[in-house]
């Protein structure tokens, strides 16, 4: 049972975006984990987890984000997140994970800063 959970992967140039929607929890975390592993195998510089459509995340999801950060570094990629719901952001702030991973407001902000001076 995945419920309303969804993840879509899109690659454009050197950026691979995983758009995550619904609830990231015990049930759905394995699905996202597989997609992140797949993205790590791509010829890409930057992996963006777009969490703007993520309504809820528990510690299972949090653990997965930390693991994704570590595995991206090992694969020679950079990982970034876009902000999720207030619940998601509160969880990231409370646990300090928000300081570990780069968080942007939107994919455009990430692309702008990447092409900046």
Partner 1 sequence: MSGEIDSPRVRLELTSRPEAARLVRGMSSGAGEALGFDPELLSDVNTAVSEACNNVIQHAYSDQPGPFSVEFAVTAAGLEVQVRDYGLGIRQAAPDHDGLKVGLALMSALADRAEFIRATDGGTEVRLCFRAAAGAQPAAEPASGCASDPPQVWQARVPTGVSGDVVLTVSPVELLAPVLGRIGRALAPSAGFSLDRCADVYLVTDALGAHAERAAESTSICVALGAYDQLLEFAVSPLRAGTSRRLDDRTPGPGPEPLASLTDELTVSDVNGHELLRVAMRDHRRS
By rule CB under 8 A, what string of x and - marks binding of each residue 34-73 to partner 1?
Answer: ----------------------x-xxx-xx----------
| Residue of 6, 21, 25, 71 that binds partner 1 (CB under 8 A) | 25
Nearest distance in Å: CB 28, partner 1: 10
- Per CB under 8 A, the segment of 6-14, 43-51, 74-82, 86-94 that binds partner 1 is 86-94
- Contact status: 94 vs partner 1 (CB under 8 A): yes
With residue 17 as reference, give the H or E element that holds it: strand 15-24
Residue among 54, 52, 61 nearest 32 (CA)? 61
* Residues linked to residue 6 through DSSP beta bridges, in sequence order: 21
CA–CA distance, 93 with 95 (Å, rounded to integer):
6
For residue 88, give the DSSP letter: H
């Amino acid at each position: 049972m995945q419920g309303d959970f969804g993840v879509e992967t899109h690659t454009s140039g050197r950026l691979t975006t995983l758009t995550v929607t619904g609830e990231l929890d015990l049930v759905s975390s394995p699905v996202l984990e597989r997609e992140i592993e797949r993205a790590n195998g791509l010829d890409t510089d930057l992996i963006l987890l777009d969490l703007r459509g993520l309504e809820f995340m528990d510690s299972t999801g949090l653990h997965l984000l930390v693991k994704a950060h570590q595995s991206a570094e090992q694969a020679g990629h950079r990982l970034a997140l876009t902000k999720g719901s207030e619940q998601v952001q509160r969880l990231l702030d409370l646990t300090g994970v928000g300081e570990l991973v780069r968080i942007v407001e939107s994919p455009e902000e990430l692309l702008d800063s990447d092409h900046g001076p």
